[in-house]
Structure 1
Amino acid sequence: MEKTYELNLAGRTLKVTIGKVAEQANGSCLVQYGDTVVLATATASKEPREGIDFFPLSVDYEEKLYSVGKIPGGFIKREGKPSEKAILTSRLIDRPLRPLFPDGYRNDVQIIATVLSVDQDHSPEIVAMIGSSIALSISDIPFNGPTGSVLVGLIDDKFIINPNSEEREKSDIHLVVAGTKDAIMMVEAGAKEVPEEKILEGILIAHTEIKKICEFIEGIANEIGKPKAEFPIFVPDEEIAKKVREYGREKLIEAINTVDKLERLENIDKVSNEIKEVFLEEYPDSENDINEVIETMLKEEVRRMIIEDGIRPDNRKADEIRPISTEVGLLPRAHGSGLFTRGQTQVLTIATLGAISDAQVIDGIGEEESKRYMHHYNFPPFCVGDVRPLRGPGRREIGHGALAERALEPVIPSEDEFPYTIRLVSEVLSSNGSSSQASVCGSTLALLDAGVPIKAPVAGIAMGLIKEKDKVVILSDIQGMEDHLGDMDFKVAGTRKGVTAIQMDIKIEGIDKPILQEALEKARKGRLYILDKMAETISEPRESLSPYAPKMYTMNVNPDKIRDIIGPGGKVINKIIDETDVKIDIMDDSGKIFITAPTEEGGKRAMEMISSIVKEVEVGDIYLGKVTRITNYGAFLEIFDGKEGLLHISNIAKERINRVEDILSVGDEVLVKVVEIDNQGRINLSRKVLLPDDPKKEG
């Protein structure tokens, strides 16, 4: 039976329709906000997946180009692999939902959010996040939600919930917050150096709206939701668990207390293998039980040591940052490079400068845009001592690259200040936690080394949390084990002035204001410390670019002259490009021209050629023209690059001539005077007016 529900969300109606479509899914709904419509479905397998020790949840955000009235480009006229934006949105949906499934639940769960219609003033990402929570909440799939999600903007020091497209452009923050009615589950933000207290205020304002959304969803679920299904939870056999603990606990504690990551992992593996070797003889079919007990013991002991003994696995204090080293200019031919090492996490970032036309054009369900700054993050298997096939970037790599890109975006100079396309690539060479934030630091070093006039250096740090009942410890600069076994991964990047990016994921059922406040303050102190360490190596952009970076020249011309520069069929501009080996980017509306040249000589020559084309020709000007073609009524002369005039047969000589070829040939250089410019801009030339009156002196 079809049912419709409505909620006033930020002054606009959020409409939810249930029972109309996709009824074979465990849970489904159509969610409309403005003219944005998303179909959200949640489906679960009937039986748990065998032989796994994790929860198999998959989330897909499907962008359909028909939603914005577009037909896909290219030969195959259908949607292909998900865009980077779709992957990032899938992660946004996944992250607040995943911790709310019961421990031990091993059934496959698939959430699909399909974008059917898009109104750019109503973000489909937020609609998809809310729709996914509704689909799970009304389904029979076990889920400890619901969650709500909102986007927060900040304009003129005022917060706006779910800003429209124009407001998003003006906003100082782009803050996505998701949570339950009791606590915050996820934060994803980009900001223009906004102070920590303002970020916290925005998160708390978002939570007020989230509570309303959660209550709205609870009302729907209570009215028409399916009873939650009974499901088997994987619990290790009690007898095995007791024996494994008695045998292995002390050995595991000793292995954990190893400062070096590789040694620690090696010691833990040795103890784990020893335990399995001992107990698999007695319980040959219980490997999953044994593995689960070992993992649980590991988590319990690491957390106990931090909470009760104040000891981290590498013997640091809670707010202590690992040793940092920095270096720039490692790669002689790269335009800029920076090596950032923090403990056993090491990232090499390379900066490359290119022409404006090298920018990435993004044409999806959003408005078409051009990205002249981009960051790519690579996480090869060797950085964690693994062996696996090299594939394209996964969701994690795309997510980390986008986070680092967002962190640096507010300090990147404008096109007017620095007319280059900028590409950063972060190569993770060694990883023991916080590699995304190390790539932020490496990016700052590479940009400064490349001579890019960034507004301020940016650094990043990852914070962690261990929470046992009322006992809370916030950890600065978490390493891999603390991330894996802890309750929070809270990445904060920014300048000395304020925050530029945040990514927070909670693995428990939310955190409150005091924890958020303390984590933000400790992250600020850690960030300032890291910025000081980076400044010891380089604190300002280099005064000049790399000699291997392209030379950039900018010109402003009358927009009406653009067609003359391009010429018929691109003839003129292609000639300039061929002769000078440059790239030319023309902004038609403004008349701004960017010339990117491998050499100074080529760039200046291209500028001269363009200047001569846009130069205003006036009657009375005298030029040394070159004959380019001959007709039966005269000759065409190029008087300067790209500009031709007609020398009529009657204006070639004092005396009458029958054939142009009697006097002129193609390639001849002839002194001519401009005698007329007609109303169509055509130039008429004369040779005879410059000839002496006595024909005998003409030679």
Structure 2
Amino acid sequence: MFRTFETTLAGRPLVIETGKMAQLANGHCLVRYGDTVVMVNVTASRSPREGVDFFPLSVDYEEKLYSVGKIPGGYIKREGKPSEKAILTSRVIDRPIRPLFPSDLRNDVSVVATVLSVEQDNPPEVAAMIGTSIAISISDVPWNGPIGGVWLGLVDGEYVINPTVEQREKSEMLVTVAGTKQKVVMIEAGANEVEESVMLEGIKFAHKHIIELCDFISGIQAEIGKEKFTYESHDVDHDLYDAIKNMAFEKLQYALDTDDKNVRDERIGEITDEIIPALEEQFPDINEQIGEILYKMQKEIVRAWLVQGRRVDGRGLDEIRPLAAEVDLLPRTHGSGMFTRGQTQVLSVATLAPLSEIQKLDGIDLEETKRYIHHYNFPSYSVGETRPSRGPGRREIGHGALAERSLVPVLPSEDEFPYAIRVVSEVLSSNGSTSQGSVCGSTLALMAAGVPIKAPVAGISCGLITTEDGFTTMVDIQGLEDFYGEMDFKVAGTKKGITSIQVDIKNDGLPYEVIEEALAKTRKARCYIIDEILLKAIPAPREELSAYAPKAETMKIDVDKIREVIGQGGKVIQKIVAETGAKIDIEEDGTIHIFAVDQESGKAAKDAIEAIVKEPEVGEIYNGLVKTIQPFGAFVEILPGKDGLCHISKLANHRVEKVEDVVKEGDWLKVKVMEVDKKTGKISLSHKDAIEEGEE
């Protein structure tokens, strides 16, 4: 039955429609937020997926270019693989909903959010998150929601929910916050060095609006929600669990008690090889369950240690692993830096290019180009595994975008530094928080490349263990603490403030006290990394670019002169490029960027352009080329495309009978500009006035 539910969000109408479309889905809704329309469908398999020890959830955010009146670019003219922004939005929706599903659910669950119409002031990403919460809530899929989600901005010192396009341009931060009525379950932030206290109060402000959304969604669920289906629990065999625990618990404690991931993995492998032969006769399905049982035991051990203030590598709760930083590892690249934290090691490489090489985007928002590009690669050898490389997955794309977001606020403007910039972070070794390692490595690479960043940026993560008595946080979590803990709270920023946040949780949410403590601990840690590691490796951005980086020269000409510089069919500009070897980009406002392999080539190109656009002034002296001879004088080219007449009476200090007696076509002639007719542009020249007495 068709139903509609209405409320307002940030002063704009939010309308939910159900019962009209996609009636074979387990849960469906159409979200109308102003003129933005997003359809969300949720389906679940009837039976669990065999052979998996995880919850198989997939979330897809589909951008349809018809939603903004565009036809896709390229030859095929249809939407292909999801854009980077679509993948990032899918991850932002996935992270807050995943922890609220039953941990022992093994049925496939699919969420598909399809963007049908976009009004840029009303973000479809927010509509998709709200729609996902509604569709799952009213479906028969077991879930402990609902959640709500909003965007948070900071405009002129005031917090703004779901800022408009105009407000986003002025905003000091853009934060996606998701939560239940009780707690915050996800934070994704980009900010212009915002202080921790300002960020915390903003999150609290956003959560108030989220609580209202949760009440709205709960009302919809109460009216039309389906009864949740029962599912086959995939908990482990408790008898097998007890048998393994009696046999190997102490050995497992010993295996975990090391700061070397390789040693730990080897020890656990030996324990596994010992357990299976001893118990497989009594428990024939031990091979199917041993992985999950050992996971649960390791989680129990690690959590117990952390609550006691003990970490597997012997560090204190607020102690960072050994750090190291280097620059200039690669001689022919434009800039390189390697950052090491414990067994996490990232090599970042910076490349500078002309602005014409900025990335062009084909999406549903207003961003059409991207000047700074950050790519993150996570090869299998970084975790000691063997598998073929299949290109970046969603995790790699997400980590690259996080590092990119962290560094954008400190980059110089195009006017200050007219380059396209790409940084690639290669994860060489991974044992926790490689995304934040890539932030630190990229700071080193950019400074080594001579990019005049405003301030160095560092990133660090904070973990969490909760008990009935309270909670324990620890800074710089390694892989084991991330895997068995409840939170990966990643914060990057300068000493002044935050540039990015990304929070992943495995519990039902974070109270404000945890967020406040995590922000305080990560600030202290990143300031230490900046002062004691990054700035000691390279105290400031290099003043000169690498010898292998293109040299940039920027100039501005009158818009009316652009046609002259380009020439008919591009002949003029092509000739300059061919003669100088420079690459030249001309913008519509008359700004010209010249890129060359050396300063001499760049100067030659700039001189050639200046000669074209320069207007002759009375009194200036030129060495011009005689183009045409006439009985009454010689036409001399003093600038490219600009001729003037040197009358026969002005060719010498004495009387000249024939022009050819003094000059012929192809000669170079020193001339002085005597007059420029303002109406016709005609130029009168004089050789006689250009030469000194006695000079020929």
TM-score interval, normalised by the smaller of the two chains: over 0.9
Corresponding position of 2:260:
260
How far the C-alpha of 1:159 sits from its partner, in A, is 0.2
Aligned residue pairs, count = 686
Secondary structure of the corresponding residue to residue 579 of structure 2: helix
Corresponding position of 2:213:
213
Q: Distance in 2 between matches of 1:300 and 1:628?
A: 91
Q: Distance in 2 between matches of 1:215 and 1:238?
A: 39
CA 1:628–1:133 in structure 2 vs 1: closer, same or farther (change >3 Å)?
farther
How far the C-alpha of 1:363 sits from its partner, in A, is 3.0
Secondary structure of the corresponding residue to residue 540 of structure 1: coil
Corresponding position of 1:552:
552
CA 1:652–1:300 in structure 2 vs 1: closer, same or farther (change >3 Å)?
same
Q: Distance in 1 between matches of 2:270 and 2:496?
A: 47
How far the C-alpha of 1:268 sits from its partner, in A, is 1.4
Corresponding position of 2:437:
438
Corresponding position of 2:347:
348
Corresponding position of 1:456:
455
Residue type at the aligned position of 2:400: G
How far the C-alpha of 1:415 sits from its partner, in A, is 1.4
Corresponding position of 1:519:
518
- Cα RMSD for the two superposed structures: 2.8
Secondary structure of the corresponding residue to residue 316 of structure 1: coil
Q: Distance in 1 between matches of 2:353 and 2:99?
A: 43
Residue type at the aligned position of 1:606: A
CA 1:473–1:637 in structure 2 vs 1: closer, same or farther (change >3 Å)?
same
Say if 2:552 and 2:595, in contact at 8 Å, map to a contact too.
yes
Residue type at the aligned position of 2:641: K
Corresponding position of 2:609:
610
Corresponding position of 1:360:
359
5 Å-filtered alignment, 1:498-513, equals 498-513=497-512
Corresponding position of 2:413:
414
Q: Distance in 1 between matches of 2:478 and 2:520?
A: 19
- CA deviations over 1:672-694 (Å, ceiling 9, x no partner): 787997889775788999999xx
Secondary structure of the corresponding residue to residue 346 of structure 2: strand
CA 1:322–1:645 in structure 2 vs 1: closer, same or farther (change >3 Å)?
same
5 Å-filtered alignment, 1:226-245, equals 226-245=226-245
Corresponding position of 1:565:
565
Residue segments in structure 2 that go unaligned for 5+ positions in a row: none
Corresponding position of 2:422:
423
Q: Distance in 1 between matches of 2:519 and 2:124?
A: 29
How far the C-alpha of 1:228 sits from its partner, in A, is 0.6
Q: Distance in 2 between matches of 1:689 and 1:327?
A: 65
Q: Distance in 2 between matches of 1:371 and 1:228?
A: 45
Say if 1:322 and 1:343, in contact at 8 Å, map to a contact too.
yes
Secondary structure of the corresponding residue to residue 282 of structure 1: coil
Corresponding position of 1:9:
9
Secondary structure of the corresponding residue to residue 503 of structure 2: strand
Say if 2:646 and 2:686, in contact at 8 Å, map to a contact too.
no
Q: Distance in 2 between matches of 1:216 and 1:604?
A: 65
CA 1:277–1:647 in structure 2 vs 1: closer, same or farther (change >3 Å)?
farther
5 Å-filtered alignment, 1:363-378, equals 363-378=362-377
CA 1:282–1:73 in structure 2 vs 1: closer, same or farther (change >3 Å)?
same
- CA deviations over 1:84-108 (Å, ceiling 9, x no partner): 1111001001000110110110111
Q: Distance in 2 between matches of 1:51 and 1:332?
A: 49
Q: Distance in 2 between matches of 1:652 and 1:22?
A: 89
Say if 1:651 and 1:688, in contact at 8 Å, map to a contact too.
no
How far the C-alpha of 1:646 sits from its partner, in A, is 8.3
Corresponding position of 2:141:
141
Say if 1:7 and 1:14, in contact at 8 Å, map to a contact too.
yes
5 Å-filtered alignment, 1:124-203, equals 124-203=124-203
Say if 1:651 and 1:685, in contact at 8 Å, map to a contact too.
no
How far the C-alpha of 1:513 sits from its partner, in A, is 0.9
Secondary structure of the corresponding residue to residue 80 of structure 1: coil
Q: Distance in 1 between matches of 2:635 and 2:478?
A: 74
Q: Distance in 2 between matches of 1:610 and 1:112?
A: 54
Secondary structure of the corresponding residue to residue 386 of structure 2: coil
Corresponding position of 1:576:
576
Q: Distance in 1 between matches of 2:649 and 2:342?
A: 82
- CA deviations over 1:553-607 (Å, ceiling 9, x no partner): 1212222212211111211111111111111122222x22211110111011111
Residue type at the aligned position of 1:383: S
Q: Distance in 1 between matches of 2:588 and 2:272?
A: 66
Q: Distance in 2 between matches of 1:457 and 1:434?
A: 19
Q: Distance in 1 between matches of 2:329 and 2:129?
A: 43
Corresponding position of 2:641:
643
TM-score, length of structure 2 as denominator length: 0.93
Q: Distance in 2 between matches of 1:510 and 1:368?
A: 32
Runs of 4+ in structure 1 displaced over 6 angstroms? 619-622, 627-631, 634-637, 646-657, 670-682, 684-692
Q: Distance in 1 between matches of 2:117 and 2:635?
A: 57
Secondary structure of the corresponding residue to residue 43 of structure 2: strand
How far the C-alpha of 1:145 sits from its partner, in A, is 0.5
Residue segments in structure 1 that go unaligned for 5+ positions in a row: 693-698
Q: Distance in 2 between matches of 1:327 and 1:130?
A: 45
How far the C-alpha of 1:614 sits from its partner, in A, is 0.9
Q: Distance in 1 between matches of 2:628 and 2:471?
A: 86
CA 1:68–1:618 in structure 2 vs 1: closer, same or farther (change >3 Å)?
same
Corresponding position of 2:468:
469
CA 1:644–1:262 in structure 2 vs 1: closer, same or farther (change >3 Å)?
same
Residue type at the aligned position of 2:238: E
Q: Distance in 1 between matches of 2:381 and 2:634?
A: 69
Structure 1 range deviating more: 477-486 or 243-252: 243-252
Residue type at the aligned position of 1:587: E
Residue type at the aligned position of 2:108: D
How far the C-alpha of 1:409 sits from its partner, in A, is 1.1
CA 1:676–1:73 in structure 2 vs 1: closer, same or farther (change >3 Å)?
farther
Secondary structure of the corresponding residue to residue 105 of structure 2: coil
Q: Distance in 2 between matches of 1:239 and 1:688?
A: 108
Say if 1:361 and 1:368, in contact at 8 Å, map to a contact too.
no
How far the C-alpha of 1:550 sits from its partner, in A, is 1.5
Corresponding position of 1:74:
74
CA 1:290–1:635 in structure 2 vs 1: closer, same or farther (change >3 Å)?
farther
Say if 1:103 and 1:233, in contact at 8 Å, map to a contact too.
no
Structure 1 range deviating more: 237-246 or 4-13: 237-246
Corresponding position of 2:317:
318
Residue type at the aligned position of 2:42: A
Structure 1 range deviating more: 485-494 or 259-268: 259-268
Residue type at the aligned position of 1:191: A
Say if 2:55 and 2:105, in contact at 8 Å, map to a contact too.
yes
Residue type at the aligned position of 1:595: I
TM-score, length of structure 1 as denominator length: 0.92
Q: Distance in 1 between matches of 2:643 and 2:561?
A: 16
Corresponding position of 2:41:
41
Structure 1 range deviating more: 275-284 or 460-469: 275-284
Corresponding position of 1:116:
116
Q: Distance in 1 between matches of 2:687 and 2:530?
A: 73
Q: Distance in 2 between matches of 1:635 and 1:268?
A: 93
CA 1:682–1:274 in structure 2 vs 1: closer, same or farther (change >3 Å)?
farther
CA 1:674–1:444 in structure 2 vs 1: closer, same or farther (change >3 Å)?
same
5 Å-filtered alignment, 1:327-342, equals 327-342=326-341
Secondary structure of the corresponding residue to residue 248 of structure 2: helix
Residue type at the aligned position of 2:309: G
- CA deviations over 1:175-214 (Å, ceiling 9, x no partner): 1000111111000001111111111101111110111111
CA 1:574–1:141 in structure 2 vs 1: closer, same or farther (change >3 Å)?
same
Q: Distance in 2 between matches of 1:282 and 1:691?
A: 109
Say if 2:673 and 2:686, in contact at 8 Å, map to a contact too.
no
CA 1:244–1:420 in structure 2 vs 1: closer, same or farther (change >3 Å)?
same
Residue type at the aligned position of 1:340: F
How far the C-alpha of 1:259 sits from its partner, in A, is 2.1
How far the C-alpha of 1:645 sits from its partner, in A, is 3.9
